[in-house]
Chains A and B, each alone.
Chain A
């Protein structure tokens, strides 16, 4: 496993941690009634606005832990792969292709949300589908990045 693949797996782990921890906190907040907002739009606005900085912080922490762990692992092995962490044109191309292709999922989620609204279902379904497909997009992006690193781009 090279540095780029490892970094992608670290991002996947941070996504899972973010979703599980934040999702649990929101559900607990609703169950124990310390996060109850009557207005649906206000509820989702607050949920999404807090989610963004939360996921950024988790991602930063996980990437720092990964970099430290990677350095320690190489020092234990006695290897010093100089320049492996360089982000070059191939890494950028892989990131671009993975982002572009995974974004189709987000578009699908948006259309599914619009269909829910068209059938006069609660706006919870619309926002829920956007959040769900957003998370799936993140997972797909990581999976595609690893595939492109292994199979070539």
Chain B
């Protein structure tokens, strides 16, 4: 089965949320800033729990934030 490439709009919605910094987002989620950097660059797919936390911070559905790249 072909591996799915999961991408996200975290960077875009972070800027739309009063230009929130990576540091602030990391603090709110209880992770390191490097983890936010890795998620934004697509180098790390977060756990379901962290993905839901991210969606909650940006007040949107999880599939608006994360999507499968064809």
Chain A interface residues toward B at CB < 8 A: 2-4, 81-91, 149, 151-153
Instruction: Check A83 against B47 for contact (C-beta < 8 Å).
Output: no
> Which chain B residues border A88 with CB–CB below 8 Å?
30-32, 35
Residues of A within 8 A of B34 (CB): 2-4, 84, 90, 149
B42 contacts across to A, CB distance below 8 A:
152
Given contacts A88-B35, A152-B38, 17 further A-B contacts (CB under 8 A): A3-B34, A4-B34, A81-B23, A83-B27, A84-B34, A86-B31, A86-B32, A87-B32, A88-B31, A88-B32, A89-B35, A90-B31, A90-B44, A90-B46, A152-B41, A152-B42, A152-B43
Chain B 14-38 interface mask (CB, 8 Å, partner A; 1/0): 0000000001001100111111001
Cβ contact of A89, chosen from B23, B31, B43, cutoff 8 A: B31
Interface band, chain B: 10 to 19
Min C-beta distance of B33 to chain A, whole Å: 6
Q: How far is the CA of A84 from the CA of B33 in the complex (A)?
A: 6
